[in-house]
Amino acid sequence: MTPLRKKMIKAMELRNLSKNTQRYYLSAVRGVARYYQQSPDTLSQEMIEDYLLYLKKGKGNTPGTCATVVAGLRFFYNHVADRQIPFDYRVRKKTTKLPTVLTQEEIWNLINAANNLKHRLILMTTYSAGLRASEVAALKPEHIDSKRMLIKVVNGKGGTERYTILSVKLLEELRDYYKSCHPHTYLFPSSYHHRKNHTLTYASVRSIYEKARKKAGITQGTGIHTLRHSFATHLLEAGYDIRRIQVLMGHRRLSTTMIYLHVSRKTLSQIPSPLDLFDPPRARKEDTTDDPNHETTKTQVRGSRYSPKPYQRLSKRLSSVVGSTPNRIQLAELPHR
């Protein structure tokens, strides 16, 4: 580990940045150093801006990824490097994309496609409780409350804690897993010898999901966060209140949870298309009433607020005076009013 990397880690620890944020910031600085093959504290403002344009246009990174890199580089040059480099880069407004949701059949096939028992339970726990990858990796045996059928989530996003539901099916399989594997520190510890009694990395959890997804023949839903999206959407389609789903998901704002209203099949399928709201044969029959020669029957008028137009009243009065046979009448024949 270089002295510069140690200095940056120390600066992030002093500011209580989360482990994920530290990993992203270190990756941003490491990326620009590898791009130029030189130490990041020797780069110029123009070199940094060219690198950011390369990420945007050359690699096609999303606005969110570019924003993370910018934040990491700014932290490095403001708090770690001996000189500050005030580079100018404004992040474009992030586009809102709807989450990908798998069907319940696809979820079940994905869980059964796991290679071993631990991988199967990692996927099952992530979906059944709506957990993030970092949250399922940090689970400990004491976090499973079988009496109240709850799972305690410690150190979630933003350092918050919450409770989520414990599935009956999951509890049965967790008991078999505990008898065979005997986990001590973490419920799903790392299998590597040098990381014994440590948590799984995000890359490991993602790899477990991707291998199972490809083995199950599922072409959509890249990223293990798809299981969390599917958890919320399936509960919403089952008729559960969106406020309760917000609590289970650990969202601070209800608007974050309401995004699943846009992908719920039950919510959208209940709205018919305007094309299905009318019957073409019936519509043609109703259109014939607009014909000028169409006569409105007394049955149609009775019970409605039908009021004859002035020229219709005049026509009826003329008919009573001169009859219906003459085609023309003289003005003198009209009654005086």
Domain 3-79: assigned CATH number:
1.10.150.130
Per-residue DSSP letters for 259-320? GGGGT-HHHHHTS--GGGGS-HHHHHHHHGGGSTT----HHHHTTTT----HHHHHHHHHHH
Find out whether 154 and 143 touch, Cβ atoms under 8 Å.
Answer: yes
243 catalytic? Reply is no
Annotated catalytic residue: which of 132, 213, 229, 234? 132
Find out whether 94 and 64 touch, Cβ atoms under 8 Å.
Answer: yes
Distance CA 174, CA 197 (A): 18
**Domain residue extents for the chain:** 3-79, 104-268
- Tell me which DSSP letter residue 60 carries: -
Q: State the average pLDDT over residues 30-57.
A: 91
104-268 is classed CATH 3.20.20.70: no
Annotated catalytic residue: which of 23, 143, 152, 251? 251
225 catalytic? Reply is yes
pLDDT category of residue 326 using cuts at 50, 70 and 90: very low
Cross-strand partners of 189: 199
Q: State the average pLDDT over residues 233-256.
A: 91
Q: Is 333 exposed, middle or buried (0-12, 13-18, 19+ CB in 10 A)?
A: exposed
Annotated catalytic residue: which of 23, 79, 211, 225? 225
Examine the pLDDT at 252 and tell me if it is beyond 60: yes
Examine the pLDDT at 250 and tell me if it is beyond 80: yes
Examine the pLDDT at 200 and tell me if it is beyond 60: yes
157 catalytic? Reply is yes
56 catalytic? Reply is no
Annotated catalytic residue: which of 51, 177, 209, 260? 260
Examine the pLDDT at 291 and tell me if it is beyond 90: no
Find out whether 145 and 151 touch, Cβ atoms under 8 Å.
Answer: yes
Annotated catalytic residue: which of 157, 162, 206, 211? 157
Q: State the average pLDDT over residues 146-158.
A: 89
Question: Of residues 282 and 39, which shows the higher confidence score?
Answer: 39
What is the structure's pLDDT at 27? 94
Q: State the average pLDDT over residues 65-80.
A: 91
pLDDT category of residue 321 using cuts at 50, 70 and 90: very low
**Span of 218-227, 249-258, 293-302, 327-336 with lowest mean pLDDT:** 327-336
**Span of 128-132, 137-141, 208-212, 313-317 with lowest mean pLDDT:** 313-317
Q: What letter represents residue 80's amino acid?
A: V
Find out whether 162 and 250 touch, Cβ atoms under 8 Å.
Answer: yes
251 catalytic? Reply is yes
How far apart, in Å, are the Cα atoms of 267 and each of 150, 171, 263? Answer: 28, 31, 8
Distance CA 77, CA 41 (A): 8
Examine the pLDDT at 208 and tell me if it is beyond 90: yes
Examine the pLDDT at 295 and tell me if it is beyond 70: no
Do the strands 144-145 and 162-165 form a parallel or antiparallel pair, or are they unpaired?
unpaired
pTM value > 0.75: no
228 catalytic? Reply is yes
Number of helical (H) and strand (E) elements in the chain, helices listed first? 16, 3
Mean pLDDT of the chain: 83
